[in-house]
A and B are shown apart, each in its own frame.
Chain A
Amino acid sequence: MSRELIVEGTDIALAYRRTRHRVSSLKQTAIDTINRRMSYENFYALNGVSFEVARGETLSVIGRNGAGKSTLLKVLARVLPPTSGRVIVRGSVAPMIELGAGFNPELTGAENILLYGTLLGRDRKTMQSRIEAIAGWAELTEHLDIPIRAYSSGMVARLAFATATDVTPDLLLIDEVLSVGDEDFQARSKARTAEMMNSGCAVVLVTHDLNTVQSMATRAIYLDHGTMKASGYPQDVIDAYHADLR
């Protein structure tokens, strides 16, 4: 059977100009400019990264903090266009990141499901018909009509997780496997994530947990300062990563 490629990344690079000492205030920028202390450097967040992910495969991205893992997810989510190289993504993309960041505390549970789902790129009418099912899974059916500012943080997390995982996309982007809520819900959310990953979509998984990589990934890449230090079978890539850490 031939592989159905969902993601093709060829020689992806992402560069931007940044100031040497990070400034985030107008005041500092003005002072530095006057003192001619503004110096820029061309920073490569990603450089020469190539990989493919086919349907049913899970690609794990490992590396230290600041290695470019999250940047790579942004590129795949098409939020960030690569400076050079090429990315092709076939089909729908769902990120399982920043759960509930689009929620508004003044809106009811039902209104938030609709808004959050549409924000994640789903069809509004489809979302409308899924509200009941999503609330049911999150065990929040009787709280659906009250503003979520009255929810506990666990309830909000459950609602967000249930909404985010309601559909199986062609490409699933995961930044650390999330476990939310109480013990029971944690087990259910983990099971659901695993179920989604095994349902035949392509998965790109960013994680620090090498056990997860070993158990879930079919391939892996190891990023270091934006460049790809290793790629291949998870165990080989983990070995390369370990060798560098030592």
Chain B
Amino acid sequence: MQVYDSSVKQLPIINPLKGVWEKRSLLKLLVARDLTVRYKRSVIGIWWSLLNPLFTTAVMFYVFNTVFKAKLPDGQAFLPYLLSGVLTITLFNQGLTMAADSIASGAGVLTKVYVRPEIFAFSATISSAINFLFGLIPLTVVLLIFGKHPGWKTPLLLVFMLCMLLFSTGLGLMLAIAYVNFDDSRSLINIFLLALQYMTPIFYPISAIGPHTQKVINLNPLTSYVTVFRDVFGDNSHATGTQWIVMISTSIVFFFLGFYVFGRTWPKVVAKL
């Protein structure tokens, strides 16, 4: 028989993680729910969810290839560069905002039933990652058209995806607190995300930018993420060792920070709701 004793000390981070693990069957159901809703029920299913990144890419391709004439270093093709950038930022944005949203909109249940809200964040970032995997299909096609192929580093894609999962889950948890606490935080956060997006080399090569701005762009951890992704899938950029380290360390730091902050703050939020 399960016994709940409130005087048993709860360890930060460890207990929430254990709580998620114990309810992993719920996590599976939540991911299945997200995917069913997204794919099975809509008429053109998977293609519909790919339409957004593909269309974004098409628009940006026209603007930056024809209007601004982006110049990539030799040996790099622009269209796969652009599409991989869009897929990365979609993976990040979608995972992050869906994680925060699912906790905020699930608050009705989460304040009354004992379920670790972190499960909701995980389910959002996991389904975002699965969505991303579907996006690799058109990316592969584009790579092949440009005489490239995913390359031998493809298994390292798992490292990239795991890092992104941890990074966006941790950030999503912190975002969820803001969403629930402040009604107007969404619009502010959207502006911030837009700024972050422009500070990430999605549609421009880093080399096209002045040295001063380059420093700023390199401070953005997403720059490392996107470069690593382009390197391991399609060999269309070169990721430095520093960028690998930035990616891995930010994912771990923000994941644990998110769990810690959320665990500390959530009870206070629940008390007020």
Contact = CB atoms under 8 A, between A and B. Distances in A.
B114 A78 contact: yes
A107 B33 contact: yes
B74 interface: no
Given A26-B182, A93-B4, A123-B25, 14 more contacts: A25-B183, A29-B182, A45-B271, A77-B113, A78-B4, A79-B270, A86-B7, A91-B3, A93-B114, A104-B33, A106-B36, A111-B33, A118-B26, A118-B29
24 contacts: A16-B271, A24-B181, A26-B178, A74-B112, A74-B271, A77-B113, A78-B114, A82-B6, A85-B6, A86-B6, A95-B113, A101-B108, A102-B106, A102-B109, A102-B113, A104-B37, A106-B41, A107-B37, A118-B29, A119-B113, A119-B115, A120-B113, A123-B25, A124-B29
B108 A98 contact: yes
Interface string B166-199: 0000000000001001111100100000000000
A89 interface: yes
A97 interface: yes
A20 interface: no
Interface string B234-273: 0000000000000000000000000000000001101110
B10 interface: yes
Contacts of A26: 178, 182, 184-185, 188
Sorted nearest first, the 10 A-B pairs with minimum C-beta distance are A101-B108, A87-B6, A124-B25, A26-B182, A89-B4, A106-B37, A25-B184, A86-B7, A101-B109, A78-B114
B2 interface: yes
A45 B4 CA distance: 21
A111 B272 CA distance: 32
Nearest to A75: B6
B3 A88 contact: yes
B185 A118 contact: no
Contact of A97 (B2, B112, B268): B112
A14 interface: yes
A14 B36 CA distance: 40
Contact of A74 (B5, B10, B111): B111
Nearest to A76: B4
Interface in B36-75: 36-37, 41
A111 B2 contact: no
A147 interface: yes
A94 to B, nearest CB: 9
Contact count band on A: 35 or more
Contacts of A147: 41
B1 interface: yes
Contact of B114 (A87, A98, A114, A121): A121
Nearest to B180: A24
Contact count band on B: 35 or more
Contact of B33 (A95, A98, A115, A170): A115
Nearest to B182: A26
Nearest to B25: A124
B10 A81 contact: yes
Contacts of A18: 272
A90 interface: yes
A81 B115 contact: no
A194 B1 CA distance: 25
Interface string A58-82: 0000000000000101110111111
Given A89-B3, A90-B3, A102-B106, A77 B114 contact: yes
Interface string B201-231: 0000000000000000000000000000000
Contact of A121 (B33, B110, B113, B181): B113
B175 to A, nearest CB: 13
Contacts of B1: 90-91, 170
A46 B63 CA distance: 60
B142 interface: no
B116 to A, nearest CB: 10
A210 B214 CA distance: 70
B112 A115 contact: no
A36 interface: no
Contacts of B37: 104, 106-107
Interface in A1-51: 14, 16-18, 24-27, 29, 45
B30 interface: yes
Contacts of A92: 2
Nearest to B117: A79
Interface in A132-163: 147
A121 B106 CA distance: 15
Given A14-B271, A104-B37, A25 B10 contact: no
B115 A121 contact: yes
Contacts of B6: 75, 78, 81-82, 85-88
